[in-house]
């Protein structure tokens, strides 16, 4: 399994949803950085399950234990390894899934790829549970970035057909990005947030689920990060974003809407103010030629509806080689979008830190 990522910092993620623990090994962190443990706990709490009626009732506290690379409050330069114990898994819910493949999940592809030896309980290594260690690593990356002035924030752009306001791609306030983090449902317009809750509850009543879109932004990003062609900011960030379970689409700046524009509309015209080059618009999302230009980095990630739903669905019995049906039991989020917000931010933080550390070492 390809559980390793990174160039300047290298991540190795491990564990399964219903195993003893999940965790991450982070190599390449600079020595001597003072880690704010409470800050990590706050990020972990944003992703943790069982906090509201809109999420699964699986009550994992996501308490982490750092077992290497951290001494007297600071990074040592050695690989930093952390584990998160699984404490509230109920594997009996998944006995039927040993043979019946859940639609929308990786049950079938995992069975084929790993010849039936993969841990199917709770999705095993494919589970969204594995995003907890990613958020842990991203929390450290975020702290390192904020020391350098880079601020990352997100909001739920949509759930189902309910749409929040969009970020102003040219003028994004760092403090506003931080304030959204503290909301139970991170949206710009709280009234829209209430409508999103109503939509999720309506889907729950129908034994169904909803997906949505997360819009993320980073401000004060240095210009000059990224390399064409294969290490562009877009390709590197997309790589990590698509490793998040349920992410099915990524777009930068105006995204797919740019295809409907003329060049005169899509081009971000430049000007200089106080010796700093800026653009009047930001249709390219702060990236040109795969390299950051100094404008806010803006992108969106599409999250598919939770595939585990209470409705009866058609599937196959892979061992009996016959058609059958399945009604998924267990504890599942009716909408995972809100819990995915800190995961998307973690991916952005890790990619930007990776680029910034690489640039500093090259220089």
**Is 71 part of any known ligand binding site?**
no
Res. 91: pLDDT tops 80: no
**Is 103 part of any known ligand binding site?**
no
**Is 292 part of any known ligand binding site?**
no
pLDDT band at 96 (very low <50, low <70, confident <90, very high): low
Whole-number Å distance between alpha carbons of 33 and 40:
14
**Is 46 part of any known ligand binding site?**
no
Q: What is the pLDDT of residue 57?
A: 55
Give the pLDDT mean for 135-164.
Answer: 98
**Is 307 part of any known ligand binding site?**
yes
Res. 184: pLDDT tops 70: yes
Res. 93: pLDDT tops 70: no
**Is 129 part of any known ligand binding site?**
no
Q: What is the pLDDT of residue 258?
A: 98
Q: Which residue has the higher pLDDT, 117 or 51?
A: 117
Closest-CA residue to 13 (of 131, 170, 168): 131
Q: What is the pLDDT of residue 98?
A: 77
Mean pLDDT, the chain, rounded, equals 93
Res. 124: pLDDT tops 90: no
**Is 308 part of any known ligand binding site?**
yes
| Structure confidence by residue, pLDDT tens digits, 201-239 | 999 999 999 999 999 999 999 999 999 999 999 999 999
Closest-CA residue to 271 (of 359, 170, 178): 170
- Alpha helices in 148-232, H assignment, sequence order: 174-181, 190-205
Res. 89: pLDDT tops 80: no
**Is 133 part of any known ligand binding site?**
no
Q: CATH homologous superfamily of domain 4-362?
A: Chorismate synthase AroC (3.60.150.10)
- Alpha helices in the chain, H assignment, sequence order: 37-47, 107-113, 131-147, 174-181, 190-205, 233-241, 263-266, 337-362
Res. 173: pLDDT tops 80: yes
**Is 102 part of any known ligand binding site?**
no
**Is 39 part of any known ligand binding site?**
no
Give the pLDDT mean for 326-339.
Answer: 88
| Structure confidence by residue, pLDDT tens digits, 21-59 | 999 999 999 999 999 999 999 999 999 876 666 666 556
What is the distance, to the nearest Å, from the Cα of residue 273 to the centroid of all Cα atoms in its chain? Answer: 35
Neighbour-count burial for 79-88, b at 16+ CB within 10 Å, e otherwise: ebbbbbbbee
Whole-number Å distance between alpha carbons of 279 and 323:
57
Give the pLDDT mean for 322-335.
Answer: 88
| Structure confidence by residue, pLDDT tens digits, 289-314 | 999 999 999 999 999 999 999 999 99
**Is 8 part of any known ligand binding site?**
no
Q: What is the pLDDT of residue 256?
A: 98
Token readout for 309 is 């739903």
Res. 87: pLDDT tops 90: no
Whole-number Å distance between alpha carbons of 295 and 215:
16
């Amino acid at each position: 399994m390809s559980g390793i990522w990174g160039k300047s910092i290298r991540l190795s993620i491990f564990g399964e949803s219903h195993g003893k623990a999940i965790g991450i090994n982070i190599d390449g962190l600079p020595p001597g950085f003072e880690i704010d443990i409470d800050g990590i706990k706050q990020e972990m709490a944003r992703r943790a399950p069982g906090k509201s009626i809109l999420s699964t009732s699986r009550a994992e506290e996501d308490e982490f234990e750092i077992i290497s690379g951290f001494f007297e409050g600071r990074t040592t330069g050695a690989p930093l390894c952390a584990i998160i114990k699984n404490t509230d898994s109920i594997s009996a819910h998944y006995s039927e899934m040993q043979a019946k493949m859940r639609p929308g999940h990786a049950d079938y592809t995992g069975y084929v790829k790993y010849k039936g030896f993969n841990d199917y309980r709770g999705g095993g290594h494919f589970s969204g549970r594995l995003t907890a260690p990613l958020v842990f690593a991203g929390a450290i990356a975020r702290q390192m970035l904020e020391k350098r002035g880079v601020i990352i924030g997100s909001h739920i752009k949509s759930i189902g057909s309910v749409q929040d306001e969009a970020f102003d791609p040219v003028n994004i306030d760092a403090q506003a990005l931080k304030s959204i983090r503290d909301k139970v449902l991170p949206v710009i317009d709280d009234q829209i947030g209430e409508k999103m809750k109503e939509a999720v509850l309506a889907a729950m009543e129908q034994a169904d689920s909803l997906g949505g879109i997360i819009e993320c932004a980073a401000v004060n990003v240095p210009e000059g990060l990224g390399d064409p062609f294969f290490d562009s900011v877009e390709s590197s960030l997309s790589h990590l974003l698509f490793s998040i379970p349920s992410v099915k689409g990524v777009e930068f700046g105006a995204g797919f809407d740019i295809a409907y524009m003329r060049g005169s509309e899509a081009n971000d015209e430049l000007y200089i103010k106080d010796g700093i080059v800026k653009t009047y618009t930001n249709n390219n999302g702060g990236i040109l030629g795969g390299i950051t230009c100094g404008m806010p980095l803006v992108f969106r990630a599409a999250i598919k509806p939770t595939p585990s739903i209470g409705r009866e669905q058609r599937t196959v019995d892979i061992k009996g080689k016959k058609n059958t049906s399945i009604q998924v039991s267990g504890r599942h989020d009716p909408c995972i979008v809100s819990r995915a917000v800190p995961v998307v931010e973690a991916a952005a933080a890790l990619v930007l830190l990776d680029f910034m550390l690489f640039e500093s070492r090259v220089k």
